[in-house]
Amino acid sequence: MIDININKLLLLMLTSTLASCGMKISTINNPNVYATHDFGFSQAVIFNNVIYGSGQVGWDKDYTLPANSDFKQQFEQTLINIERLLESQKCSWQDVLHLRFYVVGLNAVKRENIGTFLKQTFSNGYAPATTLIGISALARENLLIEIEFTAKIKKQ
């Protein structure tokens, strides 16, 4: 296992190298989405006009799950969190290049919920590359879904 200080050093070296090449890395930290920096990472990173979103879960900005939380409610809150991060960069679902879903206890009903979202959101002939992975648990108890995303930023 790599020591956390080595990781910080590697990140610093990478950032310095990219900066010397004129490439800039920035982060997204939207106050309307739970603060991932409390856990040591960014909500998303922007590099070369591409957003690389950390896995989003069904927490609101106060780290609270919906009341009587079930998969569908957590899925909806997770999508809201991603929308807020996209909108902070003037992006929408149509700018998403890739989605990666991690689902606890993946079954036909959960697949159908995700499929319905994808078909409704991307009904114009474009759909992002997508990966759906069934898992036994996420990083915190009671979390049922996590979604990573990659999106392009429109040239302004």
- Yes or no: is domain 4-152 CATH 3.30.1330.40? yes
Mean confidence (pLDDT) of the chain: 89
Using the predicted structure, report yes or no on whether residue 13 has a pLDDT greater than 80: no
For 112-135, what is each residue's pLDDT tens digit? 999 999 999 999 889 999 999 999
Segment 5-16 mean pLDDT? 56
Segment 1-8 mean pLDDT? 53
Q: Which of the four pLDDT bands, split at 50, 70 and 90, describes residue 1?
A: very low
| Torsion angle of C-alpha atoms 129, 135, 137, 143, degrees rounded to 10 | 40
pLDDT value of position 58: 95
Strands 129-135 and 50-56: unpaired
Q: Which residues pair with 128 in a beta bridge?
A: none
Q: Where are the domains of the chain?
A: 4-152
Whether the CB-CB separation of 32 and 105 falls below 8 Å is answered with: no
d(CA 151, CA 53): 8
Higher pLDDT, 4 or 36: 36
Q: Which residues pair with 130 in a beta bridge?
A: 99
Segment 37-63 mean pLDDT? 94
CA distances to 14, 61, 62, 84, 152 from 114, rounded to whole Å, are 36, 23, 25, 19, 22
> Residue 80 region, left (φ>0) first, then alpha (ψ -120 to 50), else beta?
alpha
Q: Which of the four pLDDT bands, split at 50, 70 and 90, describes residue 9?
A: low
Q: Which of 15-19, 79-83, 87-91 has the lowest mean pLDDT?
A: 15-19
pLDDT value of position 2: 46
Segment 92-110 mean pLDDT? 98
For 17-42, what is each residue's pLDDT tens digit? 555 556 789 999 899 999 888 889 99
Whether the CB-CB separation of 49 and 153 falls below 8 Å is answered with: yes
d(CA 10, CA 12): 5
pTM attached to this predicted model: 0.83
